[in-house]
Amino acid sequence: MPNPTVVDWLMPTLYLFFAISIGYGLRPSVTTSAAFTQAGRTMPAWLCALAFLGAGVGSEQVIVMGAAGAHYGLASIPFYCLGAVPALLFTGLFMMPLYYGSKARSTPEFLRLRFDEKTRALNAVLFAAVTVFAAGISLYATARLIQALHVFDAAFNRLHLGPDGSLIVTMALPAAVVLLYILLSGLAGAMYNQGMQFCLLMAGFLPIVFLGLKKIGGWRGLKAIAPMAAYLHAWNGAAGSAHSLGIGAIGLAAGLGMVFGAGYWCTDFRVLQTAMAAEDTNAARRAPLIAASAMIVLPLVLILPSVIASGLPTPRTTIIVSQSNGSIYHQITVVPPAVAEGQGLVPAKAEPATGKPIRDASGRVVLDYEMAMPAVLVHFLPTGLLGLGLTALLACLMSGLGAGIMAFSTVFTCDLYQAYMRKDAEDRHLLAAGKWAAAGAILLALGIACTIIRFTGMVDAVVLLFAILEAPQLSTFLLGMFWKRATGHGAFAGLAAGAAAAILHYGLTLPAAAQPGWSGGWITVLHRYPDGLARAFCTAIIAFGVSFIVTVAVSLCTQPRPEAELAGLVHSLTPRPPGDETWWKQPEALAAGILVAAMVVSVIFG
């Protein structure tokens, strides 16, 4: 149980004060819908890069990366590195000139410009639904984190709140702060908070990395305690495994990581909105490149602590008997059953009613990998620094939520309300619609967060959402940007078919230890995968493949648009953005250096 001091409480209090102050400070400049949804397209490249990372590394990503480190060991570092860095470089070099140059306010609006209205509408509806679900996951992650740290236990006990009541309160309070600064300052306020979040994240977790490595004996100690990548063994034992194709750890990380990485960093408007708010095309291109260089280091900061946590000795209940002056003393240290049955600092999942560890069908304890990050934070950070670590986690949790709510507000206002409800709406009505959409999204996210309590885990929920939306969306955007022959009918059919294939695969399959329901198999169970991550990989691959094939087939059977209408929307028909003449200042040279560095890090840890 942590024992925070006044200094520890001061740091998150100051963060919340500055988060709201940023909203109040920017409020006078947010008087139009463009200022609210696009930050007036006046943001510098450095702020766009920090906000890009802050929006992309929100609550679910921090918790999931920590869970991946505890579960799969060092192999999860090249997975995230190779999954993110090439996708970010591709976005900066090839996709941002088209996004920014088209003057689209959102990615669904870009699809309207490139294809047609029905493709825009379908993408907007899918994106809005998935974004609200992701915001609910962010809220749930926030509540789980605060509940696991036990920092508010005394206050909740005095209010006679049970576990569910305290969970709801800890979800409602961060949601209220996020909604407040979004209503005050829109995208500009969210971006400044995302930049502050990323700086706090690095400041809060770097001490954990250094203290953890010091405790285990540096690099040699890390390699000795790091768990083996159990997922690779499970995958190799499954039918149609990657091993049978001759793919090793690096190949698996690069191939499957790119499905999720490219889908997320190249097409997800929650992160792209920060670069699309840049002051010019060059700034919009530089933002993902700067973010890519930071993503080489970020997995080390977020994954290494949880790898260390899983390899440390597991706490046990101990009784020390001593004798003094003829008296016998018993010093008892009681460890909860879920902690004692865990692995290192990673606890086991516990039954809410009894507190006993949950076991799977084979009798093995089910570990709660999502609690690896909170456990290592409390274990390594001493009094005084604990507040900094807590503030870093709280900031990134709220930043991810803010990015999702702001993206939902923009898509609803520009692609649903103005396009289909009020085409002749005045600007003040669009501004009001954006604010009401943000408030409605927060309420929907709170309701969804309450239902996620019944889900098998945030890891499964996050990757499933990405597989349903990002994989078919990636296929649609790539074909639209790089194939002149792609048509609106093909894009619509491919997007719908890919999403339907992902949902169908989810309803017909299950992870090995799960029961039909929220975890899948609600149609019937045709196949069981080793774990939820293996099922998510296959779901994404199926969704991408179906979307790609259907888009190509339908496009070949329908009439394409004239090339004159595709200038600025297709890469081959778009002039190259101007840049510096010196070769080493070119974006391509910078991207090549970043890619080499990412591959070196992946080889070391792979």
In total, the chain counts a number of residues equal to 606
Is residue 335 predicted with pLDDT exceeding 70? Answer: yes
At residue 380, the pLDDT reads 82
pLDDT digits (tens, 9 = 90+) for 497-554: 999 999 999 889 888 767 787 677 888 888 888 777 678 778 888 899 999 999 999 9
Per-residue exposure over 172-206, b if at least 16 CB sit within 10 Å of its own CB, e if not: eebbebbbbbbbbbbbbbbbbbbbbbbebbeebbe
Task: Note whether 58 and 400 are within 8 A (CB).
Answer: yes
The stretch 340-356 carries a mean pLDDT of: 79
Comparison of pLDDT for 238 and 550, the residue scoring more: 550
Mean pLDDT of all residues in 345-352: 80
Residues 6+ apart with CB under 8 A from 157: none
- For residue 232, what pLDDT is reported? 37
What are 279-283's contacts with CB under 8 Å, separation 24+? 279/41, 279/42, 279/43, 279/44, 279/45, 281/96, 281/97, 281/100, 281/101, 281/577, 282/45, 282/577, 282/578, 282/579, 283/43, 283/44, 283/45, 283/48
Output the CA–CA distances (angstroms, integers) from residue 371 to 15, 170, 395, 515, 534, in the order listed.
Answer: 23, 16, 18, 22, 21
Mean pLDDT, to the nearest integer, of 593-600?
A: 89
pLDDT tier at 72, thresholds 50, 70, 90: confident
Q: Is pLDDT above 90 for 108? A: yes
Report the greatest alpha carbon distance in the chain.
98
Alpha-carbon span 309 to 202, nearest angstrom: 19
Contact between residue 546 and residue 498 where contact means Cβ atoms under 8 Å apart: yes
Task: Tell me the domain boundaries of the chain.
Answer: 1-20+42-234+254-312+368-453, 318-367, 455-575
Q: Give the residue-averaged pLDDT of 55-80.
A: 79
What span, in angstroms and rounded, lies between the C-alpha atoms of 386 and 16? 16
**80-99: average pLDDT:** 89
- Tell which CATH architecture fits domain 1-20+42-234+254-312+368-453: Up-down Bundle (1.20)
pLDDT, one tens digit per residue, over 404-452 is 999 999 999 999 998 888 778 888 999 999 999 999 999 999 888 877 6
When the pLDDT of each residue in the chain is averaged and rounded to a whole number, the result is 82
Residue 256 has a pLDDT of 54
pLDDT score for 235: 37
Three-state DSSP string of 192-248: HHHHHHHHHHHHHHHHHHHHHHHHHCHHHHHHHHCCCCHHHHHHHHCCCCCHHHCCC
Place of tokens 């196949």: 527
Share of the chain above pLDDT 90, in %: 30
Residues 376 and 345 sit within 8 Å (Cβ to Cβ): yes
pTM of the complete model: 0.85
Type of residue found at 353: A
Q: Which stretch, 255-264, 396-405, 572-581, has highest mean pLDDT?
A: 396-405
Q: Which of 89-98, 201-210, 242-251, 532-541 has the highest mean pLDDT?
A: 89-98
